[in-house]
Amino acid sequence: MNTIPVITLDGPAASGKGTVAELVARELGFHYLDSGALYRIATLAALKAGVDPADSEGLTAVAEKLSPVFENGRILLEGEDVTLAIRSEEVSRATSKVAVVPGVRRALFDLQRRAARAPGLVADGRDMGTVVFPEAPLKVFLTASARVRAERRYKQLTARGETADLDLLTKDLEERDRRDRERAEAPLKPAADARLLDTTEMGIEEAVKKVLDWWTTAR
Ligand SMILES: Nc1ncnc2c1ncn2[C@@H]1O[C@H](COP(=O)(O)OP(=O)(O)O)[C@@H](O)[C@H]1O
Ligand SMILES: Nc1ccn([C@@H]2O[C@H](COP(=O)(O)OP(=O)(O)O)[C@@H](O)[C@H]2O)c(=O)n1
């Protein structure tokens, strides 16, 4: 186990993990790990390679060969900029199916552990506090009502020019959360020692402040 300080942020889709994690990381001068991006990249790579979504071995092989490049906020996969492509709803849906495959999770584990570098790391995802960084001194489980989360994702998608339907989005989000919660391997759930943060009626700034306050007393 390394002794690099790590803050984990887990929670359901569009609960604000990435936004809060990035701001907390910036404030503390820590690195930031968007573990969901790795699962999304593996999924996009599998879709591009034409691997059958039911072929666990094929999906695992793709994840094992993955070597994404993170450069100035852009993500390159075999030379191609996939920053936006991995955020589509199609990829979101497919990702939660790929993420149930134990081999895929195993393949991405080391990649995630290696993100813990000095002076510290803020990691967001589904199993950061339970599986990948169980030694983290501060674990946060972020939630918000399904409707509020769907509205946030709707605004996010339409702001970048994608068409979206709020009812469909709500249904998709709930289905994805259910799949993430019910899978056998590394299901979405708060770590036993996680702090719960419900942002249904809380702005980004307040949520960031709460995490930073907890961090000052966590070690
Ligand atoms: N507390 C909050 N209040 C209002 N909007 C939020 C809040 N947290 C996040 N958002 C917005 O909701 C959207 C989804 O947040 P994001 O960080 O991408 O969620 P996640 O990483 O959990 O999927 C973003 O557009 C973000 O700006
Ligand atoms: N640590 C993680 C992170 C993401 N995932 C999977 O990847 C999907 C996309 O994760 P994400 O964090 O990018 O999704 P959003 O919360 O941004 O919608 C999730 O629905 C999970 O199925 C996972 O299984 N474990």
For residue 113, give Cα distances in angstroms to 8, 21, 23, 72, 162: 12, 17, 21, 21, 33
Residue 188's φ and ψ, nearest 5 degrees, are: -70, 115
Cα 63 from Cα 112, distance rounded (Å): 13
Q: What angle do CA 169, 208, 134 make, to 5 degrees?
A: 85
pLDDT at 142: 98
| Cβ of 202 below 6 Å from ligand 1 | yes
Instruction: Give the architecture-level CATH label for domain 6-218.
Output: 3-Layer(aba) Sandwich (3.40)
Cα 205 from Cα 185, distance rounded (Å): 33
pLDDT at 2: 54
Q: Which residues pair with 75 in a beta bridge?
A: 70
pLDDT at 99: 97
| Cβ of 95 below 6 Å from ligand 2 | yes
Cα 176 from Cα 129, distance rounded (Å): 20
Distance 72 CA to ligand 1 centre (A): 21
For residue 92, give Cα distances in angstroms to 44, 136, 169, 200: 10, 27, 11, 22
| Cβ of 49 below 6 Å from ligand 1 | no
If the chain, 219 residues long, is cut into consecutive pieces of 10 residues, what is the mean pLDDT of each piece? Answer: 87 97 98 98 96 94 94 92 93 94 97 96 98 98 96 93 91 95 96 98 98 93
Contact between residue 24 and residue 197 where contact means Cβ atoms under 8 Å apart: no
pLDDT at 94: 94
pLDDT at 219: 73
Strands (E), 35-96: 69-71, 74-77, 80-81
Structure tokens at 133: 């960084």
ipTM exceeding 0.85? yes
| Cβ of 143 below 6 Å from ligand 1 | no
Q: pTM of the full predicted structure?
A: 0.96
Distance 9 CA to ligand 2 centre (A): 12
Report the 10 Å Cβ neighbour count for 151.
Answer: 16
Cα 150 from Cα 193, distance rounded (Å): 28
Break the chain into its structural domains and give their ranges: 6-218
Strands (E), 110-175: 121-125, 138-143
pLDDT at 89: 86
Query: Which ligand 1 atom minimizes the distance to the CA of 202?
Result: 1
